Amino acid sequence: MMNGKTVILTGANSGIGKATAAGIVKLQGRVIMACRNLSRAEEAAREIRDETGADSTQLVLKQLDLASLTSIQTFCQDIIKEEPRLDVLINNAGVYQCPYTKTEDGFEIQFGVNHLGHFLLTHLLLDLLKRSAPSRIVVVSSKLYKHGHINFEDLNSEHSYDKAFAYSRSKLANLLFTCELARRLEGSGVVVNALTPGIVRTNIGRCIRVPVLAKPMFNLLSWGLFKSPKEGARTSVYLACSPDVEGVQGKCFADCQPQVLLDKATDQEVASKLWDISEVMVGITT
């Protein structure tokens, strides 16, 4: 049970995030839904309340756009002012295979939102998490990390852009971030673990064009073969709440089981270099 513990969950209004929020409030947790669009967040909160019977204090809505460093800073300032403790941070929000776009601060959107935005968010909330120890950080990655590579010479894809590669790179960055953060958090009482949710029926494919004639077949297949959001959220809820993983540090889970990653996702040298470059990119000076 979460008995009033506070969880910040990014991308809580849709797909895996929304199902994760529902799973946590069912365990009596309190979820701060960190969403870029407050009216979508309100609608999702209403649906979660209807489904779970959660009371109004269990779901708190807060605006957060991970494509804006200013928005992340404002969000964290408010949280630090308003929240005496933070038990769990779940870095769940993500974008997938978008056409080439940049964030407000000029980062390629998938690297910017999926990796850099969460990198700064975690950095700014880390003291609060440490003061609230034992506390947890959960990072939602993807098995598609396998096709990624951290090409330090073109992290913003200014020389060439391949939307599938950029997604895989951002999800590899999530795992390298988990690896380096776990090393830095040793002995702090804060643990960080990642997960890959599997293929889940959500809104993640909004940038992918399925030809009109193929749509009914695609929908049929997705209902038959993909996980439901609730199934896809199971490992997120497990890592956020379960006593089974108390003290477990720096692992990646799938279906609530630890998994073995390719060497490129645990390469300490690349992880540390990515950390240093990410600090420079988001303007962390300490």
Of 22-30, 92-100, 179-187, 214-222, the segment contacting ligand NAP by CB under 6 A is 92-100
Distances (CA, A) of 88 to 32, 159, 254: 10, 38, 19
Closer by beta carbon to ligand NAP, 113 or else 155: 113
CB of 204 to ligand NAP, least distance (A): 4
**Per rule CB under 6 A, count of chain residues that contact ligand NAP:** 29
Any contact of residue 7 with ligand NAP (CB under 6 A)?
A: no
142 with 175: CB under 8 angstroms? Answer: no
Q: How far apart are CA 169 and CA 147, in angstroms?
A: 7
Q: Degrees (nearest 5) of the Cα angle 180, 184, 185? A: 115
> Which of 102, 75, 62, 94 lies closest to 196 in space, CA to CA?
94
Q: Which of 13, 122, 135, 168 binds ligand NAP (CB under 6 A)?
A: 13
Any contact of residue 17 with ligand NAP (CB under 6 A)?
A: yes
Give CA 138 to chain center in angstroms: 7
Whether 167 is catalytic: yes
DSSP 199: S
Any contact of residue 203 with ligand NAP (CB under 6 A)?
A: yes
Applying the rule CB under 6 A, the residues between 141 and 200 that interact with ligand NAP are 142, 197, 199-200
CB of 142 to ligand NAP, least distance (A): 3
Any contact of residue 92 with ligand NAP (CB under 6 A)?
A: yes
Backbone dihedral region of 11: left (phi > 0), alpha (psi from -120 to 50 degrees) or beta? Answer: left
Of 86-94, 125-133, 184-192, 256-264, the segment contacting ligand NAP by CB under 6 A is 86-94
Catalytic sites, residue numbers: 167
